[in-house]
A and B are shown apart, each in its own frame.
Chain A
Amino acid sequence: MNARLLPYLLILPVTLFLCVFFLYPFLLVSKQAFTQGAGFTLENFRDVASHWKFPISLKNTLLLAAVVVPVQLALALLMATMVNRMEKGRDLVLYVWTIPLGISDLAAGIIWLAIFEQSGFLNSMMTGLGLAEQPMNFLSYQSPLMVFTAIALAEIWRATAIMLVILVAGIGLIPKEYYEAAEVFGASPWQRFLRVTLPLLRPSLQTALILRVVLAFEVFAVVAALGGTLFPVLMGEIYSYQFDLQNSNGAAALALVVLGISIAFTLVILRVLRVPKGATI
């Protein structure tokens, strides 16, 4: 076997596969979004944007991401630094904290439904402790804030683990000498975190944030399980365009909107957290 050709032969299957099932569908969905019958048109985008549910589902999606992602980032950083200095029981704690990594968003939605539904555990606890006379209906249109809280909690519960794993791996790559040096110069633990951990963690933070933000815009099943139609989000709207309205051009146009937002945020994160050239550990 020619050694120069071998690497290309080895990456050929993935490249072909991604061309057929990633690039090609991407072109198809773009074409679908910009056509109606025959010929180029922006009509689909106009249709979609003028639908009364569009502003609210866009707002909900962005708001949810804006609340959930920073909390997850803080929580994941806290957990990662705690795990890092743990001596006993590190493996067990890490296993427990990464459990949600394997849990689907639908299952997470159902799990939090068990807590928030009218005959659920939150109501049981509150009446049991005498905080409420009778069970309240949290997940109704009368309490939009509660619906939002339930969805946000379920998202935080489910998807912090992915950031945690990336950050723990990243912290593990930071040489201990930096911390020792910082200690010699009298840096407090908080200063060590700010001046050593955070800057050196930048590549991992970048990855974690990109993955998490893109996933946050894809939020769908958690919302479907907890809020149903009470809390419209973009992915849910795409789904209903495809099935309830049977308008696949509209669905494609909305899909491009989600894509555009995801790419825009990815670029922003890449830019803000860029790693200076040559500044690797």
Chain B
Amino acid sequence: MTDVTADAVAPDARRAGRIVYGATVVFLCAWVLVPLYFLLINTLSSPQAVNAFPKSFIPAFDLGSLTFFANFSGMLNALKNSVIVAAMTMVMSIVIGAPAGYALSRFDFRGKELFRLLILLTRAFPLPLLALPLAVLFIRTGLDDTAFGLALVHTTLAIPFAVLITYSLFSGIPIELEEAAWTLGCTRLTAFTKVVLPLILPGITASAIFAFVISWNEVFAAAVLTIENRTLTAFLLQTLGEAPLHLKFAGGFILVVPALIFIFAVRKYLFAMWGIANR
């Protein structure tokens, strides 16, 4: 069938089509990569070079900007806070979210649809806004300006994803495997830990990483809820007005690097995660 249509189209037109196709792919890849390359050049230039004109289009591999970044008062502390908050978010969203994902994939229970609706609702909601009332609440409970308080808000952001992603991951493992384990003398719990968990672990890791990235990147709630213990995003936002250019670019670069690694690490799961998660 395809041969017939292929013959019907002139070979010239087909070749032209393929060239346009290839060129578009290359152009779209460049559209993503070139701005990142520019950031890399700026990060690896000396502060003088960053503020100079015109710019070189080849990185100078000067660590001046990064050293300045590291020595900027409060910056390393902010970096540390970011990592702590993101790690807490990662752990909490999986520990709280994964059981619900398992329940959704394995059981039919009353209220299941309502529960799914609640989860979906949170996604169609500008969640960072909820940091405003929580700021007041946290002052009363002593959670204000702490990594844990911010991690709680970030967990709210990450939890819908954690539930839906683990739901789709658990659904991919046949229940027969578990049932076989039960007949061989496993309890529900041991069947889970010995059969399901090893199979699901890479996927769980991927969704944990995703939760980490959500928290690592979040700006608004972080800026609202932290004052002394700023995270990196909140700190950079606060200094945007007066900070020199090389500090901004080095900071932006530090923000981007983990994201690049994480997306690479979870790339296999990205589509599986979204495939079922979106219906």
Q: Is A128 an interface residue (CB 8 A)?
A: yes
Q: Is B207 an interface residue (CB 8 A)?
A: no
Nearest neighbor of B2 in chain A, beta-carbon distance: A183
Which of B5, B135, B218, B249 sits near A114, CB closer than 8 Å? B249
Chain A's nearest CB lies how many Å from the CB of B35?
A: 5
A13-B96, A119-B55, A127-B54 given as contacts; is B133 within 8 A of A252 (CB)? yes
Q: Is A228 an interface residue (CB 8 A)?
A: yes
Flag B242-279 by CB within 8 Å of A: 1 or 0 each: 00010011011001101110111001001110110011
Cβ contacts under 8 Å, A101 to chain B: 263, 270
Chain B's nearest CB lies how many Å from the CB of A214?
A: 6
Q: State whether B53 touches A119 (Cβ < 8 A).
A: yes
Q: State whether A238 touches B237 (Cβ < 8 A).
A: no
Cβ contacts under 8 Å, A255 to chain B: 126, 129, 132
Among B12-29, those with CB < 8 Å from A are 21, 24-25, 28-29
Q: State whether A103 touches B256 (Cβ < 8 A).
A: yes
Q: State whether B109 touches A214 (Cβ < 8 A).
A: no
Q: State whether B153 touches A203 (Cβ < 8 A).
A: no
Nearest neighbor of B213 in chain A, beta-carbon distance: A102
Interface locus among B73-81, B116-124, B173-181, B196-204: B116-124
Cβ contacts under 8 Å, A104 to chain B: 216-219, 233, 255, 259
Q: State whether A121 touches B233 (Cβ < 8 A).
A: no
Q: State whether B217 touches A102 (Cβ < 8 A).
A: yes
Among B124-147, those with CB < 8 Å from A are 124-130, 132-137
Cβ contacts under 8 Å, B258 to chain A: 102
Q: Is A166 an interface residue (CB 8 A)?
A: yes
Q: Is A279 an interface residue (CB 8 A)?
A: no
How long is the Cα–Cα vector from A78 to B256 in the complex, in angstroms?
26
Q: State whether A107 touches B256 (Cβ < 8 A).
A: yes
Q: How many residues of B contact A (CB 8 A)?
A: 93
A-B contact count (CB 8 A): 266
Q: Is B186 an interface residue (CB 8 A)?
A: no
Cβ contacts under 8 Å, A26 to chain B: 130
Q: State whether A228 touches B241 (Cβ < 8 A).
A: yes
A14-B100, A259-B125 given as contacts; is B219 within 8 A of A221 (CB)? yes
Q: State whether B132 touches A248 (Cβ < 8 A).
A: yes
Q: Is A28 an interface residue (CB 8 A)?
A: yes
How long is the Cα–Cα vector from A114 to B109 in the complex, in angstroms?
53
Q: State whether A29 touches B130 (Cβ < 8 A).
A: yes
Q: Is B224 an interface residue (CB 8 A)?
A: yes
Q: Is A242 an interface residue (CB 8 A)?
A: yes
How long is the Cα–Cα vector from A15 to B118 in the complex, in angstroms?
9
Among B79-123, those with CB < 8 Å from A are 95-97, 99-100, 102-104, 106-107, 109, 112, 115, 118-119, 122-123
Chain A interface residues (CB < 8 Å from chain B): 1, 4, 6-8, 10-11, 13-15, 17-18, 21-22, 25-26, 28-29, 32, 78-79, 82, 86, 91, 93-107, 110-115, 117-121, 123-124, 127-128, 135, 157, 165-166, 168-170, 172-173, 180, 183-184, 203-204, 207-208, 210-211, 214, 217-218, 220-221, 224-225, 228, 235, 238-239, 242, 248, 251-252, 255, 258-259, 262-263, 266, 280
Given A17-B96, A102-B213, A115-B38, 12 more A-B residue pairs with CB atoms under 8 Å apart are A21-B153, A22-B125, A32-B133, A82-B21, A121-B38, A124-B55, A135-B53, A168-B271, A207-B279, A208-B278, A251-B132, A255-B126
Q: List 28 A-B contacts (CB under 8 A).
A: A1-B188, A4-B109, A7-B112, A26-B130, A28-B133, A32-B133, A93-B25, A94-B267, A96-B29, A101-B263, A102-B259, A102-B263, A104-B219, A106-B219, A110-B249, A110-B252, A110-B255, A111-B35, A111-B36, A111-B252, A117-B245, A118-B53, A214-B124, A239-B224, A242-B224, A252-B133, A262-B126, A263-B125
> Which 6 pairs of residues, A with B, have the shortest CB-CB distance?
A104-B217, A102-B259, A110-B252, A28-B133, A10-B103, A7-B107
